[in-house]
């Protein structure tokens, strides 16, 4: 079973049906298990995510079963490489077991690349609709202003729940430092390093932002579990509720304002002032303060917004470099080389103190 | 723009052939697709980034580096000093932007509100606006 799925950005099952069916059959003690309806989801640029249905007959009572699964395959060299699938799996376990955050429950981890070409894990499949940043008006997710507001308030509530998870017991491995000021600098160092390793030319606005952040990044007095990529596009809704939060690969222990500012980056809302097309900033902050007792300082929010844009720029240059070096053939990463201009323009405006 | 035009064009051709092509059933669109891929492959052998863009970057960055090295201590800005000696005339934009990054970091640390820091910020805005003018895509058309 050495079927590789790397580079198959076609939306097809990429040959995984056979080996994955056999592997799932072993886990469920169902040798006759078959998989169908495999869909590769193209929303993400990092992990390869497939959803599928499995059918099998129960060995004990002979009854037929059908169950939906989601499979996350580690990319060979994706946008956010390097990856640590075991840490990712453990994080998903803690979140699903120790909080009411709606994250798909992880079921099995396979670290042997011999099955699908790369390590992977299997989760319960969530069903619903994923609103995306490209569509501010989404009649399925937001049929009315009231529905949008309700989703927005729940979005904030879930973020507050994530921030309330006790990372010190089971997720301490996600902390770079236990001191908030040193932790903030460690996050900055981490993303500056990614920028340095990814860039093929120097980008003067990014360099200016890094120098500014060295002086002005304002840490809070607390450290929380940050999702790291909490925004529209990374959650699913059904019947007016948020039913799943995805894409935890950037989770870390960090500043709560970092996570809040990231959700409000203009990359996820265009000229719409609502954070992630959901809530006006004042409503967002008021709800977060109501849930956590923590008031967001505008200065800290601006600094962490600039940080979030540097993080985005670092991600874009990594994608461009991966394409340049032939480590991926995904053209979506190639176009990041010019799409980064949007990030840089927002960054320049933020540095100049303009509203973005 | 960071990628080489050769890699971008060859990569686009490869995606058309290997990813899009198999999903196109009709003969005429398939022929157009194959022709587009061939055009891209052949362009990849013949194009390079515009040199006038790079020349203007170098021309605007040089006085900034001269003034930065004059303002800094003799042991500071070694990369900028080396570039000024090594490239007396037109040059590639990559090395001068590296030297400029060193000057940006120095200015931010020593005189963030000074005249030189302001000129470095203005250069960064100009460089960005050049890229914005060249940009053709549909993400948030603002």
Domain annotation covers residue A79: yes
In terms of DSSP H, where are the helices of chain A? 17-27, 85-98, 145-164, 167-170, 180-198, 204-216, 256-263, 281-292, 298-324, 331-334, 336-351
Helix or strand (DSSP H, E) at A226: strand A224-226
- Same domain for A272 and A208, yes or no, is yes
Range of the domain at B16: 5-44
Q: What is the pLDDT along chain B (142 residues), one digit of tens a residue?
A: 679 999 999 999 999 999 999 999 999 999 999 999 999 999 999 999 888 888 999 999 999 999 999 999 999 999 999 999 999 988 899 999 999 999 999 999 999 899 999 999 999 999 999 999 888 875 544 4
CA A49 → CA A27, A39, A107, A274, distances in Å?
20, 8, 15, 29
Per-residue model confidence (pLDDT) at position B53: 83
Domain annotation covers residue A213: yes
Per-residue model confidence (pLDDT) at position A40: 85
- Per-residue pLDDT at A78 exceeds 80: no
Distance CA B70, CA B84 (A): 12
Range of the domain at A80: 17-124
Count the domains in chain B. Answer: 2
CB contact residues (below 8 A), chain B span 35-94, against chain A: 93-94
First-to-last alpha carbon distance for chain A, in angstroms, is 50
Helix or strand (DSSP H, E) at A50: strand A48-57
B80 CA to chain A: closest CA distance, Å?
Answer: 14
ipTM attached to this prediction: 0.92
Distance CA B31, CA B47 (A): 24
User: What is the tens place of the pLDDT at every residue in B29-49?
Assistant: 999 999 999 999 999 999 998
- Same domain for B38 and B63, yes or no, is no
User: What is the tens place of the pLDDT at every residue in A250-298?
Assistant: 999 999 999 999 999 999 999 899 999 999 999 999 999 999 999 999 9
User: What is the tens place of the pLDDT at every residue in A144-201?
Assistant: 999 999 999 999 999 999 999 999 999 999 999 999 999 999 999 999 999 999 999 9
Sign of the alpha-carbon dihedral angle for A172, A173, A178, A183 = negative
Inter-chain touch A337–B1, beta carbons under 8 Å: yes
Residue A316 in contact with partner chain B when CB distance is under 8 A: no
Domain annotation covers residue B108: yes
Residue B12 in contact with partner chain A when CB distance is under 8 A: yes
Residue A31 in contact with partner chain B when CB distance is under 8 A: no
- Per-residue pLDDT at A11 exceeds 80: no
Inter-chain touch A335–B137, beta carbons under 8 Å: yes
- Same domain for A301 and A191, yes or no, is yes
Rg (chain A; Cα; Å): 21
- Same domain for A262 and A292, yes or no, is yes
Per-residue model confidence (pLDDT) at position A328: 87
Mutate to test the interface with A, among B18, B21, B101 (most CBs of A within 10 A): B101
Task: Report residue A298 as tokens.
Answer: 């505008």
């Amino acid at each position: 079973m050495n079927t590789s799925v790397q580079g198959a950005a076609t939306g097809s099952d990429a040959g995984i049906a056979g080996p994955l069916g056999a592997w799932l059959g072993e886990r469920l003690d169902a040798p006759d298990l078959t998989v169908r309806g495999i869909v590769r989801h193209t929303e993400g640029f990092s992990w390869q995510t497939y959803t599928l249905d499995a059918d099998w007959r129960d060995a004990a009572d002979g009854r037929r079963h059908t169950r939906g699964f989601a499979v996350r395959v580690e990319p060979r060299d994706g946008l956010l490489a390097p990856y640590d699938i075991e840490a990712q799996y453990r994080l998903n376990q803690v979140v699903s077991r120790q909080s009411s955050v709606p994250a798909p429950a992880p079921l099995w981890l396979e670290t042997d690349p011999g099955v699908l070409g790369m390590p992977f894990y299997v989760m319960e499949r969530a069903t619903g609709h994923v609103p995306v940043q490209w569509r501010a008006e989404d009649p399925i997710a937001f049929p009315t202003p009231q529905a949008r507001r309700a989703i927005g308030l729940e979005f904030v509530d879930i973020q507050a729940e994530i921030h309330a998870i006790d990372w010190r017991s089971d997720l301490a491995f996600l902390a770079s430092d236990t001191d908030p000021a040193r932790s903030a600098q460690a996050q900055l160092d981490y993303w500056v390093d990614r920028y340095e390793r990814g860039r093929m030319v120097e980008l003067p606005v990014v360099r200016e932002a890094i120098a500014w952040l060295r002086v002005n990044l304002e840490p809070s007095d607390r450290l929380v579990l940050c999702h790291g990529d909490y925004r529209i596009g990374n959650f699913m809704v059904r019947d007016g509720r948020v039913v799943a939060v995805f894409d935890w690969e950037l989770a870390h222990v960090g500043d709560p304002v970092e996570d809040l500012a990231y959700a409000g980056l203009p990359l996820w809302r265009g000229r719409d002032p609502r954070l992630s097309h959901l809530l006006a900033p004042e409503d967002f902050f008021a709800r977060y303060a109501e849930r956590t007792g923590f008031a967001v300082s505008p200065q800290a929010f601006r600094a962490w917004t600039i940080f979030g844009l540097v993080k985005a720029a670092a991600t874009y240059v990594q994608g461009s470099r991966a394409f340049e070096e032939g480590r991926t053939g995904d053209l979506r990463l190639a176009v990041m080389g010019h799409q980064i201009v949007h990030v840089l323009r927002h960054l320049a405006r933020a540095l100049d103190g303009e509203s973005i | 723009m960071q990628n080489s035009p050769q890699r971008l064009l060859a990569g686009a051709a490869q995606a058309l052939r290997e990813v899009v092509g198999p999903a196109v059933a009709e003969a005429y669109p398939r022929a157009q697709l194959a022709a587009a891929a061939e055009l891209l492959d052949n362009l990849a052998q013949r194009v390079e980034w515009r040199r006038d863009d790079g020349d203007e970057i170098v021309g605007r960055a040089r006085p900034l580096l001269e003034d930065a090295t004059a303002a800094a201590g003799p042991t500071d800005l070694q990369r900028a000093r080396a570039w000024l000696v090594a490239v007396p005339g037109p040059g590639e934009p990559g090395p001068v932007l590296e030297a400029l990054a060193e000057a940006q970091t120095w200015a931010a640390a020593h005189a963030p509100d000074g005249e030189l820091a302001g000129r470095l910020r203005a250069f960064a805005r100009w460089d960005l606006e050049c890229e914005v003018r060249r940009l053709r895509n549909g993400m948030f058309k603002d």
